[in-house]
């Protein structure tokens, strides 16, 4: 068998199934049989609005699978190993890579955007970018490790202290992981904010103490009432919405921390009185990008795997839709407009759909 099925993005909004050659691997690379891949918020943009770096591209950067072949010099995995894929391939030699900050790499490749990703039966990957999984971790759950690790990295920037009030803007998959993580890291009250009741019901299952639908309630008033006017010690923007950016500054308490990780994909304007809050409240404002690769002081990827494997973090309740690889176009129709509820949408590439 030298051909494989692949869902190929040929232009904005145009994904088609094709027979492709199975990639041949070289030294330091592995061939991974892709089992399950998730659709990320960024894939929705790539599919429907921005496109990928070049067409055609096989989408999919959040995926887990089985190593089927290893190239010369590969020592970290053997054929048969279950793995999750870190989709960001960094150069290893720039000043940021050499300083242990690979997420700042100046010359990186990214599976499913700059080069082919996991919505195909097989993917060629640098061995250093696959991480071994416990064999009893189901592939659908394992495919959510990437967004979980994004959340873990974001929370390292938030410096949550015991009993801190935390407000998470946006109850998408990453927001839901961060609600759960905030509780693990010792948060007190956790507020989840979204525009949709179904998303907030999901946030409740993730452990949010207060769920605020800002189309129905005034966010500032709710948090003011519930915190006795102290507001939030930590605010995370994971909605990628200009309104949520402004609200993040608005609801942060004095000397609070605000972490921006959502990608708005459009201009953000902030009212002058709200902006002044950064100064007057002496806020710490930080950005968060992807994940760390270093193992000390904490290994973000191993932590994500362990949390899901132990059940400390739950992903089941986030999965709303499941499609086969042949139905990739249908999967992207579900996420095209945001008027109907979805959360994590999975594509079962080689794994059978559950009955």
Q: Which residues bind Zn ion (CB under 5 A)?
A: 40, 62, 90-91, 94, 97, 105
Residue 92 C-beta: closest distance to Zn ion, Å: 6
Whichever of 45 and 224 has its CB closer to ligand NAD, that residue is 45
144, 98 in Cβ contact below 8 A?
no
Per 3-state DSSP, what percentage of the chain is helix, strand, and coil (rounded to 5)?
30, 30, 40
Nearest distance in Å: CB 57, ligand NAD: 17
Q: Minimum CB separation from ligand NAD for residue 335, in Å?
A: 8
94 binds, among Zn ion, ligand NAD, none (CB under 5 to 8 A by kind): Zn ion
Q: How many Å apart are CA 263 and CA 216, to the nearest integer?
A: 24
Distance CA 119, CA 268 (A): 33
35 near ligand NAD, judged by CB under 6 A? no
Distance CA 213, CA 135 (A): 39
Tokens of 35: 């089992």
Distance CA 68, CA 317 (A): 31
Is residue 77 a contact point for ligand NAD (CB under 6 A)? no
User: Residue 43 interacts with ligand NAD (CB under 6 A)?
Assistant: no
Tokens of 2: 């030298």
Among 42, 227, 248, 350, binds ligand NAD (CB under 6 A): 42
Residues between 142 and 181 that touch ligand NAD (CB under 6 A): 147, 150, 169-175
CB of 265 to ligand NAD, least distance (A): 8
Residue 91 or 196 with smaller CB distance to ligand NAD: 196
151 binds, among Zn ion, ligand NAD, none (CB under 5 to 8 A by kind): none
Cα 171 from Cα 188, distance rounded (Å): 18
Instruction: Indicate whether 290 belongs to the interface with ligand NAD (CB under 6 A).
Output: yes
Pick the closest to residue 132 from 79, 61, 77 (CA basis).
77
CA–CA separation, 129 and 293 (whole Å): 10
For ligand NAD, the binding residue among 184, 214, 270, 274 (CB under 6 A) is 214
Q: Is 240 in the site for ligand NAD (CB under 6 A)?
A: yes
As given in the structure block, the two tokens for residue 172 are 């998408």
């Amino acid at each position: 068998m030298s051909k494989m099925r692949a869902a190929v993005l040929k232009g904005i909004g145009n994904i088609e199934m094709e027979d492709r050659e199975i990639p041949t691997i070289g030294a330091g690379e592995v061939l991974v049989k892709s089992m399950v891949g998730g659709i990320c918020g960024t894939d929705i943009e790539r599919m429907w609005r921005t496109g990928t770096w070049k067409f055609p591209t096989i989408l999919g950067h959040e995926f887990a699978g089985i190593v089927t072949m290893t190239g010369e010099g590969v020592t970290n995995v053997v054929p048969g190993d279950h793995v999750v894929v870190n989709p960001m391939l960094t150069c290893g030699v720039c000043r940021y890579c050499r300083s242990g900050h690979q997420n700042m790499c100046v010359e990186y490749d990214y599976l499913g955007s700059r080069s082919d990703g996991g919505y195909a039966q097989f993917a060629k990957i640098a061995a250093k970018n696959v991480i071994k999984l416990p064999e009893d971790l189901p592939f659908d759950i394992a495919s959510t490790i990437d967004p979980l690790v994004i959340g873990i990295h974001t929370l390292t920037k938030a410096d949550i202290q015991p009993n801190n009030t935390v407000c998470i803007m946006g109850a998408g998959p990453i927001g839901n992981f961060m609600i759960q993580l905030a509780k693990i890291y010792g948060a007190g009250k956790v507020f989840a904010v979204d525009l949709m009741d179904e998303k907030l019901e999901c946030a409740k299952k993730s452990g949010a103490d207060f769920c605020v639908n800002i189309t129905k309630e005034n966010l500032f008033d709710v948090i003011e009432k519930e915190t006795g006017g102290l507001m939030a010690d930590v605010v995370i923007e994971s909605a990628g919405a200009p309104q949520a950016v402004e609200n993040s500054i608005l609801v942060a308490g004095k000397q609070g921390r605000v972490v921006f990780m959502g990608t708005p994909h459009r201009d953000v304007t902030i009212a002058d009185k709200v902006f002044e809050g950064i100064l007057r409240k002496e806020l710490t404002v930080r950005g968060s990008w992807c994940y760390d690769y270093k193992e000390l002081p904490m290994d973000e990827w191993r932590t994500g795997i362990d949390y899901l494997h132990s059940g400390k973090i739950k992903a089941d309740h986030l999965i709303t839709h499941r499609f086969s690889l042949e139905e990739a176009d249908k999967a992207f129709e579900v996420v095209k407009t945001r008027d109907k509820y979805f959360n994590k949408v999975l594509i079962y590439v080689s794994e059978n759909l559950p009955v």
